[in-house]
Chain A
Amino acid sequence: MRTLEQTTQEVLDLASKHFKVPAGSLAPEDDFFKKLGIDSLQTLEMLSRLENHFGIELPDYEVQGVSDFRTLASRIQSRL
């Protein structure tokens, strides 16, 4: 079982790969809309990749209003 820290790190790694930003340039408290300059649609694409990576289903309502990596990781963690 992953710890929340491990899950958070995997979320950051995957997001940096998906949006082609340097590894290590993203931090848990970053607002992904602002830091990556992405819109709500691109966020949904990222969620699909995270679902495949973690082998979970993340209903849309679970991520409603979430904009930072740490909260996103904790929502994923609760479904692992």
Chain B
Amino acid sequence: MLDLSKYQSIGAALKDALEEFANEVCLIEADREREKEKLTYRDFKERAHPLAKALQDAGFGAGDRASIIMTNQSKWLISAYAAFYAGGVLVPLDYKLAPDEQWQLLKHSDAKILITEYPIWRQLSVSEGRRAAANVSAVLVTEAPKNADLASAHRWEEFQGSGEPAFVPRTRKDVACIVYSSGTGGRPKGCMMTHENYLEQCVALTSLYPFAPGVRYLSILPTNHAIDFMVGFFGPFICGAAVVHLRTLRPEYVREAFSKYKITYVSLVPLVVKNLQKGLQARFDELPSAKRKVFNMVVAVNKALTKSRPRLGLSRRLLKQVHEPFGGELRTIIVGGAFTEPQTLQFFYDLGIPVANGYGLTEAGTAITVNDLKPFRADTVGKPLPGMEVRIVNPGADGIGEVSVRSKTVMSGYLNEPELTAEAIVDGWLMTGDLGRFDAAGHLQLFGRKKNMIVTEEGKNIYPEDIEAVFESLPVKEFCVFAANYIWPQRSMVGEQLLLALRLEPGQTYSEELRRDISARNSKLLNYKRVHGVVLFDEDFPRTASLKIKRNALAEQLAKFDRATAFLPL
């Protein structure tokens, strides 16, 4: 691993990594059963430098912003490196957003260059939102068919400069990436992450979960997500490890990839981990009674022998039939993006497959705490990472209060939003909006949220104001979306739901026709963004002088209702 304390920027560290590990494999890309690409660090450099030169020839330089909207693949990482090499700031966007939402963020981020894939560009190029984002002066499109109409975009594969690009140095305090933690409907929250944020986070994470040449990371979480950017790109690269990309995320190909590529680490969202658990449990349940008894005994032995720490070699021998389908080399499943239920974590640990859970926020530079497995604790989100100061603000009698963080990994602020930044970072401490307390062993336990938002099991942060547009012109007097747990705190991080508060017109009733209208609008939202129920409020909503809804005041009034009777499921 490179000594990151010597580096000022992501680009400088990656540049040296490509030299240091020139002969090691850095990327493998597979599409179904076909292996499309296998690149060494030298190959990677040879692909990236002509792109960096072409970017420079096009006037892209220090501080200019380049956005990437792509699925996980080699060209994502090659493009990102080329942008860093040229001194640029990366704006990774979620490829699952609707085209208009993507244009909105492209405009907000003031991106000069957009790098995307042909299927995504096909939709983006015809979207109305394009007109508003005149700041995007050049678009590079990968894998476009031969005769495709690119609507004035360039082919990524042909966008190459001749000669060597000039490396543009950056300092630790310069912004490296603008990562959107929310804001496709309300005020976009573009977290300005500095080079220092990433360098420090990488040192902390690799101290617990080391990468090295020969280690293979399976990249499934979208690379625009802070977790995959760190453990599926920067972390493995500065250690000479390899990243495996799959172009098709069907479960059968993902399963096959574990054994085919001898995967060492993978990051998954809780939904996928739970699904894996369900599949394994079904297999165990099918065992004949005698075999099942023996199997349960072996699991009990493994559990006893790994009580104080994981013993991978031993677990792999004891529970060969469980470990072999995972390729036999899997060290840890990193789970992130949302809260994971303790019984799921325990299930895997008992089988000798450690699941490293943790807790983090994009704003904090990804992970704040991680379970160090010494010993494994399913009931907590682990201890603070090295370099993280974590404290509980205004704790109640039960010790539970708001979790706040101070660290070199905390963002410098929200892009163009000094007010939001001042609310989020108070006297150098990032206020997370999550409720928690430390136990006697220094492990953090979480107990719900203070803020009005939910996180789905797929790791998606949903802010109510971001989805309200779909209910515009609903035939009611007024409406407002809330996280149900914000109204009625549950002290839980699972099963979070959104609700639609309605103030009907005088004499209006909550009819079946209105319910159907709400359902129809709801179904226009991506499935994880939908509201789950309605709450009727029989007074006008409290509003400010400028007629904005006072959300907190309305929430306080709604809280007086009994959730069981007031919440009408859709």
Known interface pairs A34-B527, A65-B526, A67-B523. Does A41 touch B275 (Cβ–Cβ under 8 Å)? Answer: yes
Tally of chain A residues near chain B (CB < 8 A): 18
B527 close to A67 (CB less than 8 A): yes
Q: Chain B, interface size: which category?
A: 20 to 34
Give the distance in Å from the alpha carbon of A60 to the alpha carbon of B245 in the complex.
14
- Known interface pairs A40-B458, A44-B249, A59-B119. Does A64 touch B272 (Cβ–Cβ under 8 Å)? no
| Inter-chain contacts of A33 with B (CB < 8 A) | 527
DSSP class of A's interface residues: helix, strand, loop or mixed?
helix
Partner of A61, one of B71, B458, B523: B71
Chain A window 53-80, contacts with chain B (Cβ cutoff 8 Å), 1 for yes, 0 for no: 0000101111011010000000000000
B344 to chain A, nearest CB (A): 14
Q: In whole angstroms, how far apart are the Cα atoms of A39 and B32 in the complex?
A: 22
Type the 1/0 row for A28-61, where 1 means its CB is closer than 8 Å to any CB of B.
Answer: 0001011000011100110110000000010111
Contacts of B528 in A (CB 8 A): 40
The residues in B between 433 and 459 inclusive whose CB is less than 8 angstroms from any CB of A are 457-458
Total A-B Cβ pairs within 8 A: 49
CA distance A29 to B251 in the complex (A): 26
Question: In the bound complex, do residue B120 and residue A61 qualify as a contact, i.e. CB atoms below 8 Å apart?
Answer: yes
B248 within 8 A of A: yes
Q: In the assembled complex, which residues on chain B have CB atoms less than 8 Å from the CB atom of A61?
A: 71, 117, 119-120
Measured CB to CB, the residues of A under 8 A from B are 31, 33-34, 39-41, 44-45, 47-48, 57, 59-62, 64-65, 67
Q: What are some 12 contacts across the A-B interface (CB < 8 A)?
A: A31-B527, A33-B527, A39-B527, A41-B251, A44-B249, A47-B250, A48-B252, A60-B71, A61-B71, A61-B119, A64-B95, A65-B96
Using CB atoms and an 8 Å cutoff, list the residues of chain B in contact with chain A. Answer: 32, 71, 95-96, 98, 117, 119-120, 247-252, 271-272, 275, 457-458, 523, 526-528
Given contacts A34-B523, A45-B250, A67-B527, could you give 20 more A-B pairs where the C-beta distance is less than 8 Å? A39-B271, A40-B271, A40-B458, A40-B527, A41-B271, A41-B272, A44-B249, A45-B251, A47-B250, A59-B247, A60-B71, A60-B247, A60-B249, A61-B120, A62-B119, A64-B95, A64-B119, A65-B98, A65-B526, A67-B523
